[in-house]
Structure 1
């Protein structure tokens, strides 16, 4: 018996009009000084007139334009040659010359993940509010996390809210406190633990701030100037610290205005494929986690994002011998008292991992290998496992001939997810003629779906360009996975 998902016909395409502020950094001190000198040579009247033009042209495209321009001026202040007090207008204009617009989704809007919204107040009866995260890709193929919001009604019809015209980056805050034991353990995992590290960590307490760490690292490296080994260790220590940070959005910004743009050294070339999951701890506390891939242009790093309200986010590095490759997906609760994660360390098989510490993963177990023709090249998850009465429902992606991506499903035992109860021999979803053309042809891909009533909602990417939704009836799907179905082919779901 085979089963197919039903497409809804909804398509989310990238919108190049959604732009946000980014620093315009020339990377050249002499050119920077020349620009500052030219602006400072303008009369106050010329400054005022030019600032009016900037505000008139760009003010309606952004929230809080003046606040950003002043912040940008403060970042450029060290380049000023004197301590002369400048007029507010000149400070704003200088900030504008070192600011640019960035169209975060001009190239693609894909690889979606769905979770239920933490606020379900004022929702019509039978409706449920959801959050959709997407990988937005713009100039330079830099990826960030974008959000949309919508509802699913009593008939499992998907209703997406039109996004705001505005996009805003959050305030970025260093991790307020580092714990020495955990930090040193991460350094050890990164092979940055030696006598030089001990010197750089000497004098720090059991708890310390990033500023305290930077001060002691600077002091030690200044004593061993031009020593390449000391500079390498110092760079690694500071990169680790700067890869653990926090983000905060203003409460008055709607969810779809919030954008998580690459910030840390690990992320300079993108934040990719966030797999969000609503995690419920043993004490009943709910946290939304997202495993994602940080990319610095050369190497990928699995990282973890955490939030309870989608306003404040905490970003942390993942460490351990088995934190490798892409596609890590956290289970929505602990299993037998331990955290559990799906992964794909070798690029082609699905593994199961357990850990007592959410941030350290040391062991793995192979549970699913490519078996069917549509997954011979590669197999991986399409988001976090979904708990059902019959077992853990895992959406998978398989890669077959001509590098064609399809979406399938696997069912794992609730108490022992290393046991595979069933898997689909044929895909739930493969690219049709309308989905084959895009940035990467012949790809359908998801980072996580939801069950609403008896329907599995699958948000999915179309050729790494746009996104859509498909639906499949859960009882019918579980019937096939458990081997209780009939021999005939079934096509189920809704269309919209």
Structure 2
């Protein structure tokens, strides 16, 4: 059974002298590229508007972050925040799927960049519906782009020919009644390719609104087919900074990477700080092989 080992302390905390991230930092998306971990994280200051900060690390634990946010609200549908980024390296660009919050509606939106400083915005991907927890697959599947998203309470899969218009929506995972994921589930980190299937770190919420993390494996050629899904959670809120904060009893991931035989899963603790938990690649491989 897979269990993540948490780093004993948060790796990013709010910075009081940065007004835009003085209250909370959480829900970080990550990508490992050219030997560095690139992180986008959700930050909130005194105005309680979400912006995205950028941090970089050579070891996955110690991060240098910029003084200013790199992505801020720029349209009416995101007036109250750009939230929960998931990063995918695809066809020479970093594509970031994020939640746009207008104050009353949440929409799946996308931006792209090559350097995390200058951005191209692609707008809302799934119009006219509240939706979030969306993540792009890092390659085409049978000639089409693929994306996970969440129509409550389930995880859905959709396909596209141009990354903008999405069709063929289908449910691939549902909550399991009477368990740690009984209320709703959602994609966490961007799907990670392994030789056995797409590795998915996801979140589940129980009837008491406790957020935990789970793990599943999707078929490489048909990710609508769930090959394996662990019954027990891989991480639960146990540390004080996961149990107490803006939203108590929450561990919530938006990104994971594999570095030198170790998977690093980055997550928000109680919607207040950023933590990381790890698992060895050989343990994940045993899960993938069903051993």
Residue equivalent to 1:110: 26
Instruction: Give 1:132 deviation, angstroms.
Output: 1.2
SS at match of 2:89: strand
Matches within 5 A, 1:336-485: 336-345=142-151, 347-371=152-176, 373-434=179-240, 435-484=242-291
Q: Distance in 2 between matches of 1:407 and 1:478?
A: 18
Q: Distance in 1 between matches of 2:99 and 2:204?
A: 19
Gaps of 5+ in 1: 19-102, 121-127, 153-157, 168-257, 485-496
Residue equivalent to 2:77: 266
Contact 2:42-2:84 at 8 Å conserved across structures? yes
Closer/same/farther in 2, CA of residues 323 and 451 from structure 1, 3 Å limit: farther
Instruction: Give 1:433 deviation, angstroms.
Output: 3.6
Contact 1:131-1:148 at 8 Å conserved across structures? yes
SS at match of 2:8: strand
Residue equivalent to 1:136: 43
Contact 1:421-1:482 at 8 Å conserved across structures? no
Q: Distance in 2 between matches of 1:112 and 1:385?
A: 15
Instruction: Give 1:159 deviation, angstroms.
Output: 3.8
Contact 1:381-1:395 at 8 Å conserved across structures? yes
Residues 117-152 of structure 1 show CA distances to partners (whole Å, capped at 9, x for unaligned) of 4xx4xxxxxxx3111111001123200000111112
SS at match of 1:402: coil
SS at match of 2:283: helix
Contact 2:4-2:234 at 8 Å conserved across structures? yes
TM-score by length of 2: 0.94
Closer/same/farther in 2, CA of residues 362 and 259 from structure 1, 3 Å limit: same
Q: Distance in 2 between matches of 1:300 and 1:162?
A: 30
Which structure's CA Rg is the greater one? 1
Residue equivalent to 1:13: 13
Instruction: Give 1:350 deviation, angstroms.
Output: 0.8
Residues 240-267 of structure 1 show CA distances to partners (whole Å, capped at 9, x for unaligned) of xxxxxxxxxxxxxxxxxx4322121111
Instruction: Give 1:114 deviation, angstroms.
Output: 1.0
SS at match of 1:297: coil
What is the RMSD computed on CA atoms of the aligned residues?
A: 1.7
SS at match of 2:168: coil
Q: Which has the higher strand share?
A: 2
Residues 68-108 of structure 1 show CA distances to partners (whole Å, capped at 9, x for unaligned) of xxxxxxxxxxxxxxxxxxxxxxxxxxxxxxxxxxx111120
Contact 2:107-2:127 at 8 Å conserved across structures? no
Residue equivalent to 1:30: none
Q: Distance in 2 between matches of 1:320 and 1:106?
A: 32
Q: Which has the higher helix share?
A: 1
Q: Distance in 2 between matches of 1:397 and 1:320?
A: 21
